[in-house]
Structure 1
Amino acid sequence: MTPSRSEYNARHLSVLEGLEAVRKRPGMYIGSTDSRGLMHCLWEIIDNSVDEALAGYGQEITVVLHADGAVEVHDDGRGIPIDVEPRTGLPGVEVVFTKLHAGGKFGGGSYSASGGLHGVGASVVNALSARLDVQVDRGGKTYQMSFRHGEPGRFLDKGRPSPHAEFAPFTEGSELDVVGRAKRGVTGTRIRYWADEQIFTADARFSYEDLARRARQTSFLIPGLRITVRDQRGLPGTPGEFGVHEEVFQHDGGIAEFVDHLAVDSPVTDVWRLHGEGRFKETVPVLDDTGRSRLTEVERTCEVDLAVRWGIGYDTTVRSFVNIIATPKGGTHQAGFEAALLKTFRKQVEANARRLKAGTDKVEKDDVLAGLTAVLTVRLAEPQFEGQTKEVLGTPAVRQIVARVVEKELTARLTATSRHGKQQAGALLEKVVAEMKSRISARVHKETQRRKNALETSSMPAKLVECRSTDVERSELFIVEGDSALGTARLARSSNHQALLPIRGKILNVQKASITDMLANTECAALIQVIGAGSGRTFDLSAARYGKVIMMTDADVDGAHIRTLLLTLFYRYMRPLVEAGRVYAAVPPLHRVEVVNPGGKANEMVYTYSERELDGLLARLEREGRRYREPIQRYKGLGEMDADQLAETTMDVRHRMLRRIRVEDAEAAEHAFALLMGSEVAPRKDFIIEGAAQLDQDRIDA
């Protein structure tokens, strides 16, 4: 028999209408059904309240994470309309929460610039909620409507509201209940909802950290807006684990204050604000009086507001926003910003090539972005986003508008005639050129650098005492203080896998110096050359010539200072080496105690590494009735040890103790380095005064 052919006709097609489509394919609207999608639903509700504040109709937003799994968002905006929408015959509240692509952000009459422009935010959240309650304060009354899975009705609560309470859907017509009275002149909206456990994964959770970060960010973008975030869940591992945790975010300085908050390194320039706007035309569908959609050419205005600041570091932080909605993946506005940056700096470097000694090489984008902290915001009506998650701006005309504004405003900054302006512009251009030279130098070095063995000529510094092994994982580089320590260490080392590099005195404080000064410093340049992996943005961990880099400094104040200077260099310009756990500090002993053994037995040498350990040792010897020779030797420098003692206590892998340098919190470490080693004197002075009483004066070598 011939197999029957499968039929496929119109009756096999499914037509999903309204919120049913959202529940069937939630990922199309919120990206995923894990914690990220759960947070996206919350952003949709919060963004609606933020839009009210952005339009000038509200000053406070409160977000509460309830212990029963619900989340509540309360604002003091105008309140969702409660009158009947003429086309549907439904109250405005029901239209907003049950109809896709419906809202006040399409015609342009209510919101000139808004983040929630696709009109699916509130209705999608409603569709994916087991229960949603909305209360609106308008006209001296408080109105309420409830929904289950997007269907309007009433919950028959017995006590506290619950998504599991009995539900009575509206059958004949929807009703907006009046549940209370509002004070005269008070308006606003309260939305409380429970996410549907059937839609979201079992491990989906609201992240307090993400919520607080978003609230802080929004408060920077809308100066004067007060956002309160309260966590009542008591979840382990959260700030509210042991009780209700609340934070209030309000910043009146705008995006300039935001840049100061984001920047962690010492400044090369002040925070520069660049403003401008441009107009463009686009053809969009517009509803006429009859409800029909007609393609109409409309003129738009795009406002550009930008805050930039360059620091001495090489990390780049750029945050971009469209109508205060974050666009983490950029878009046309960020592309225009970066293109204008590169074009402007290339022109300025070419115009000042002789003074900057730039040669004929061209500046690249990474050279300009090094050390940049920037916040870019654009405001325009009905922006085109790529997808409902609004992570990428797609409006083509915005690119040229942003580029023109940035080029004009930045050129004015770089060609300023005031003394302060010229000084900052000059320092910035020198930094960009230094980054360019560093990149070119690193590329050449990477192309030519090879691990030298004993049969090859070496281009390493003459003072490097190299090891024989070419096994990177096993090899170690000891950084020692001066020639005296080098002489002892040379005899104490294992020449097979331990290399030595002496440094003279205290190296350059790179926290305050420019990258040009750092590369010009003999000690810093030697360290970078010997490690062999480059520096800054071009650092390549896989090219490092040693598995361990060990700082072996004296156990005194000067040794601690040298170690701090070295750590500053490693952290700022070779950070991956620190993050990989390949930087160590040797721990030499502080004391040597010669314990007298009875009879003809040789005396025993015991080393201690702290005053507490010494006191414990002496107390133990006294209890055991054993004697020790006086005076006890106190090592102030490695040069006081002979080779056997240094090998036994500090260099021999069988007996030594190393302290691994870790970076658990990069931002906290950066702040610590800036405080102790930066150019700002006042905070360091306060730190010294506060800690002076805790300092043991006997530890100061004076």
Structure 2
Amino acid sequence: MELSEPTGNVPVVTTAQQSSTAKQSGSATQPDSLRRSAVEEAGREYGARSILVLEGLEAVRKRPAMYIGSTDTRGLMHCLWEIFDNGVDEALAGFGRLITVALEADGSIHVTDRGRGIPVDTEPRTGLSGVEVVYTKLHAGGKFGGGAYKVSGGLHGVGASVVNALSTRLDVEVDRKGTTWGMSFRRGVPGRFEGDGPDAAFTPGSGVDKLRRAKRGVTGTRVRYWPDRQIFLPEAELSWRKLVDRARQTAFLVPGLEIQIADRRGVQISPETGEPIDEVTESLRFDGGISEFADFLASGRPVTEVLRLQGHDSFTETVPELDANGAMVPTDVERRLDVDIAVRWGDGYDTVEKSFVNIIATPKGGTHVQGFEHGLVKAFTGALEGTRLLRTSEEIVKDDVLEGLTAVVTVKLAEPQFEGQTKEVLGTPPVRRLVSRIVESEMTDFLTSTKAAVKPVARALMEKVVNASRTRVAARAHKENQRRKNALESSHLPPKLKDCRSSDPDRTELFIVEGDSALGTANVARNSEHQALLPIRGKILNVQKADLGAMLRNAECASIIQVVGAGSGKTFDIDQARYGKVIFMADADSDGAHIRTLLATLFFKYMRPMIESGRVYSAVPPLHRFELINPKRGMDKYLYTYSDAEYQRTLASLTKKGIRFKEPQRYKGLGEMDASQLKETTMDPHHRTLRRITIDDAEEAEHTFKVLMGSDVAPRKEFIVQGAYRLDQERIDA
């Protein structure tokens, strides 16, 4: 979760300022008709010379998000995964059992592997060395055919070259045939640096250099690169936690592969001393494979032990291939599909599914996950037909089977079809059918087994699925009855809601206001045409700890959900939302921050589409007010500041300019403002400041809410202790 300033809601230039700015730029002196004619004339001149052709890696630098998803932390981490996965692909091919990753203090990233090493001989079509082709040519690599890799995560041939294009410097060293070869690049251009670091003098030039002799039998690749801060956002940082999670995940997926990671940036804080740690290291290796992974992910008491559903099959795929004349010819290719899935059911209700293709994570699923879930449902449906557990009118659906399930779904195949370079969704169509068939066969064998050790476990699992089905049906019936009851008994909205007259979601705003005192002022300050008010009493229920029933019984939570009007949880329909914006308006103190956090938790857990669509905001009321005595022409009589730092700057500026003012007022809460002040600073769309609540990383947001608002105290205590060392003691109001 993060808070950002939406550009459309914070006008920073008044009408007078806009006029002055326009005159300075010279545009204000031109009539509108002349400006329109200039634009029309430019449009008529559109021709071939207007087309810009981006050569080589220029396209990557021009549109980096097309290749790495974004230019924030997510994109920075994606570059690391591209280099890291090249080493993993070597391990998958049976070469090298060690990969190291180091986050260096100078901002560089150093990745090494013990694979075969990138080829250094000349590629005949381009006349360049293999290293230069891999790092400078898009869609060039050894993973398009079946010669170098049977399966791999890299499939588009753009990974290394994209990272190179987005780096101020990239150095690569290759150990092959008793020699260490080296080559350097600056923003994708090959050449040679005359010193260390990205700021050293650089001379462009092609060719790979012999650096030194290597030990006999030693092969591998070492890559060190400095991300280009012209491309990535200033706040983009490499995440140690994400690196640990990815390295652990890979170590689970490739049994016997050792991954050593190190953070030498000095950003990690010792919980014992509170001092920065020069180097933090982790060494990860798991010989148990995905069975161990499923155990690691699972929670609660097990209903079954970890089951492995394994099998292989083949399918025919039509792909374009070059013939002897260089023409693309459709060719039928026989593909082998290997399926390996680890599943474990527990007594809980949550479902944990991790899916991978050639060990590349597919967080948004794809045809392999669809096949897995379809095969499970068919297996349970078929097995239950031979028992008396399921009544005639009952049926099993996917949610019943997935309840309490922890699953690691892995498939391996040559040249899978991903949707986009970020490889989040598998799209190869035949995979769904084959995975479904294998899963149904393997799971049916388990559920219908007559072995003494297996039979009672299988029956307990089927009973759990049947009970989940009955609970689902009962809950749906209860919901339908409750809806009818609500429609008959309480078709009106809560009486404390101060609704607006407009029903257009593009204009309407709902302010959730803390306290009755602030409500009275806000009611006078609002524009009743499109601004509605809903007061809440103090702090609402922490829904991260409470269950669904407790949330619905809570009057404040129920009122908010009822007023928004789009339901909650899985039944939430954003198209039914009555308001285009929901704005949290609480005091600018610690209690107000807590209330905003509790409201954000409610929306994240039960009305998440509102946040995902950018319709949830937090108002930013001022902390101080300066009233000027005899202000100069063009100056406002009242000045507002929104932080202590801004207060100090304003105070110093007024004093330096000799502008007199009354004793500044510090607001302790919204109730201390009169209606005109509240309208001007917090509610008027032309002057107010809003912070939009957004989700950049759903998994990270889920983790943060669990740590800060969940039932488990230990992670929250650790978070508070670590944060205490970073706290400026001068800011403590004691």
What TM-score bracket applies, with the shorter chain setting the length?
Answer: 0.5 to 0.7
The correspondence for 1:303, drawn from 338, 347, 351, is: 338
- Partner residue in 1 for 2:402: 369
- Partner residue in 2 for 1:219: 251
Deviation per residue, 1:80-104 (Å, 9 max, x gap): 0011111111111000000011011
Alpha-carbon distance between aligned partners in 2 of 1:541 and 1:230, rounded to the nearest angstrom: 45
- Partner residue in 2 for 1:122: 160
Match runs of 1:358-397 below 5 Å: 358-397=391-430
Quick one: which amino acid aligns to residue 98 of structure 1? T
Matched, 1:166 2:201: yes
Q: Cα offset for 1:670? A: 11
Alpha-carbon distance between aligned partners in 1 of 2:710 and 2:96, rounded to the nearest angstrom: 34
Alpha-carbon distance between aligned partners in 2 of 1:670 and 1:332, rounded to the nearest angstrom: 39
Q: Tell me the SS of whatever aligns to 1:203.
A: coil
Match runs of 1:496-515 below 5 Å: none
Matched, 1:294 2:303: no
- Partner residue in 2 for 1:254: 289
The correspondence for 1:18, drawn from 53, 56, 61, is: 56
* % identical aligned pairs: 59
Matched, 1:407 2:416: no
Match runs of 1:222-301 below 5 Å: 222-235=254-267, 241-289=276-324, 291-301=326-336
When residues 55 and 452 of structure 1 are mapped into structure 2, their CA distance, relative to the original with a 3 A threshold, is closer
When residues 325 and 30 of structure 1 are mapped into structure 2, their CA distance, relative to the original with a 3 A threshold, is same
Alpha-carbon distance between aligned partners in 2 of 1:369 and 1:62, rounded to the nearest angstrom: 36
Quick one: which amino acid aligns to residue 54 of structure 1? L
Which of the pair has more CA radius of gyration?
Answer: 1
Alpha-carbon distance between aligned partners in 1 of 2:714 and 2:465, rounded to the nearest angstrom: 24
Quick one: which amino acid aligns to residue 183 of structure 1? K
- Partner residue in 1 for 2:640: none
Quick one: which amino acid aligns to residue 94 of structure 1? E
Alpha-carbon distance between aligned partners in 2 of 1:335 and 1:538, rounded to the nearest angstrom: 29
Alpha-carbon distance between aligned partners in 2 of 1:156 and 1:104, rounded to the nearest angstrom: 31
Alpha-carbon distance between aligned partners in 1 of 2:154 and 2:283, rounded to the nearest angstrom: 24
Matched, 1:539 2:548: yes
- Partner residue in 2 for 1:689: none
Alpha-carbon distance between aligned partners in 2 of 1:409 and 1:51, rounded to the nearest angstrom: 28
Alpha-carbon distance between aligned partners in 2 of 1:195 and 1:663, rounded to the nearest angstrom: 32
Alpha-carbon distance between aligned partners in 2 of 1:184 and 1:307, rounded to the nearest angstrom: 40
Matched, 1:70 2:98: no
Tell me if the contact between 1:264 and 1:670 (Cα under 8 Å) persists in the aligned partners. Answer: no
Alpha-carbon distance between aligned partners in 1 of 2:259 and 2:706, rounded to the nearest angstrom: 32
Alpha-carbon distance between aligned partners in 1 of 2:396 and 2:202, rounded to the nearest angstrom: 66
Q: Cα offset for 1:288? A: 3.9
The correspondence for 2:82, drawn from 44, 50, 69, is: 44
Q: Tell me the SS of whatever aligns to 1:214.
A: helix
When residues 667 and 83 of structure 1 are mapped into structure 2, their CA distance, relative to the original with a 3 A threshold, is farther
Tell me if the contact between 1:307 and 1:376 (Cα under 8 Å) persists in the aligned partners. Answer: yes
Matched, 1:140 2:175: no
When residues 43 and 450 of structure 1 are mapped into structure 2, their CA distance, relative to the original with a 3 A threshold, is closer
Q: Tell me the SS of whatever aligns to 1:126.
A: helix
Q: Cα offset for 1:45? A: 0.4
Matched, 1:442 2:475: yes
- Partner residue in 1 for 2:138: 100
Q: Cα offset for 1:293? A: 3.4
Alpha-carbon distance between aligned partners in 1 of 2:472 and 2:209, rounded to the nearest angstrom: 67
Alpha-carbon distance between aligned partners in 2 of 1:397 and 1:537, rounded to the nearest angstrom: 43
The correspondence for 2:65, drawn from 14, 27, 41, is: 27
Q: Cα offset for 1:348? A: 2.2
Alpha-carbon distance between aligned partners in 2 of 1:359 and 1:109, rounded to the nearest angstrom: 54
- Partner residue in 2 for 1:559: none
- Partner residue in 1 for 2:725: none
When residues 251 and 289 of structure 1 are mapped into structure 2, their CA distance, relative to the original with a 3 A threshold, is farther
Greater RCO structure (CA 8 Å; 6+ sep)? 2
Quick one: which amino acid aligns to residue 235 of structure 1? V
Q: Cα offset for 1:311? A: 0.3
The alignment of Structure 1 onto Structure 2 pairs a total of residues equal to: 481
Q: Tell me the SS of whatever aligns to 1:193.
A: strand
Q: Cα offset for 1:255? A: 0.4
When residues 450 and 277 of structure 1 are mapped into structure 2, their CA distance, relative to the original with a 3 A threshold, is closer
Tell me if the contact between 2:544 and 2:711 (Cα under 8 Å) persists in the aligned partners. Answer: no
Matched, 1:342 2:380: no
Deviates more, 1:186-195 or 1:230-239: 230-239
The correspondence for 1:189, drawn from 221, 237, 243, is: 221
When residues 38 and 664 of structure 1 are mapped into structure 2, their CA distance, relative to the original with a 3 A threshold, is closer
Match runs of 1:608-647 below 5 Å: none
- Partner residue in 1 for 2:525: none
- Partner residue in 2 for 1:615: none
- Partner residue in 1 for 2:347: 312
Tell me if the contact between 1:259 and 1:307 (Cα under 8 Å) persists in the aligned partners. Answer: yes
Alpha-carbon distance between aligned partners in 2 of 1:535 and 1:138, rounded to the nearest angstrom: 55
Quick one: which amino acid aligns to residue 165 of structure 1? A
Alpha-carbon distance between aligned partners in 2 of 1:281 and 1:234, rounded to the nearest angstrom: 52
Tell me if the contact between 2:132 and 2:207 (Cα under 8 Å) persists in the aligned partners. Answer: no
Tell me if the contact between 1:221 and 1:255 (Cα under 8 Å) persists in the aligned partners. Answer: yes
Tell me if the contact between 1:130 and 1:196 (Cα under 8 Å) persists in the aligned partners. Answer: yes
- Partner residue in 2 for 1:640: none
Tell me if the contact between 1:30 and 1:37 (Cα under 8 Å) persists in the aligned partners. Answer: yes
When residues 665 and 318 of structure 1 are mapped into structure 2, their CA distance, relative to the original with a 3 A threshold, is farther
Quick one: which amino acid aligns to residue 298 of structure 1? V
Q: Cα offset for 1:177? A: 1.5
Quick one: which amino acid aligns to residue 321 of structure 1? F
When residues 335 and 406 of structure 1 are mapped into structure 2, their CA distance, relative to the original with a 3 A threshold, is same
User: TM-score, normalization: structure 1?
Assistant: 0.64
Alpha-carbon distance between aligned partners in 2 of 1:379 and 1:56, rounded to the nearest angstrom: 14
Q: Cα offset for 1:241? A: 3.5
Alpha-carbon distance between aligned partners in 2 of 1:298 and 1:374, rounded to the nearest angstrom: 31
Q: Cα offset for 1:538? A: 9.2
Q: Tell me the SS of whatever aligns to 1:36.
A: helix
Q: Tell me the SS of whatever aligns to 1:419.
A: coil
Gaps of 5+ in 1: 457-469, 473-533, 549-575, 581-661, 673-702
Alpha-carbon distance between aligned partners in 2 of 1:348 and 1:451, rounded to the nearest angstrom: 37
- Partner residue in 2 for 1:432: 465
Alpha-carbon distance between aligned partners in 2 of 1:183 and 1:228, rounded to the nearest angstrom: 22
Alpha-carbon distance between aligned partners in 2 of 1:319 and 1:331, rounded to the nearest angstrom: 12
Tell me if the contact between 2:544 and 2:710 (Cα under 8 Å) persists in the aligned partners. Answer: no
Tell me if the contact between 2:268 and 2:280 (Cα under 8 Å) persists in the aligned partners. Answer: no
Q: Tell me the SS of whatever aligns to 1:320.
A: strand
Quick one: which amino acid aligns to residue 346 of structure 2? G
Quick one: which amino acid aligns to residue 275 of structure 1? Q
Alpha-carbon distance between aligned partners in 2 of 1:21 and 1:90, rounded to the nearest angstrom: 21
Q: Say what the alpha-carbon RMSD is for the aligned residues.
A: 3.2
Quick one: which amino acid aligns to residue 302 of structure 1? L
When residues 166 and 541 of structure 1 are mapped into structure 2, their CA distance, relative to the original with a 3 A threshold, is farther
When residues 357 and 291 of structure 1 are mapped into structure 2, their CA distance, relative to the original with a 3 A threshold, is closer
Tell me if the contact between 2:260 and 2:283 (Cα under 8 Å) persists in the aligned partners. Answer: yes
Q: Cα offset for 1:358? A: 3.6
Quick one: which amino acid aligns to residue 160 of structure 2? A
- Partner residue in 2 for 1:466: none
Deviates more, 1:201-210 or 1:235-244: 235-244
Q: Tell me the SS of whatever aligns to 1:72.
A: strand
Match runs of 1:594-605 below 5 Å: none
Quick one: which amino acid aligns to residue 286 of structure 1? E
Alpha-carbon distance between aligned partners in 2 of 1:313 and 1:667, rounded to the nearest angstrom: 16
Q: Cα offset for 1:664? A: 3.8
Alpha-carbon distance between aligned partners in 2 of 1:114 and 1:285, rounded to the nearest angstrom: 20
Q: Cα offset for 1:365? A: 1.1
Tell me if the contact between 1:27 and 1:33 (Cα under 8 Å) persists in the aligned partners. Answer: yes
Alpha-carbon distance between aligned partners in 2 of 1:89 and 1:238, rounded to the nearest angstrom: 52
The correspondence for 1:202, drawn from 212, 230, 234, is: 234
Q: Tell me the SS of whatever aligns to 2:44.
A: coil
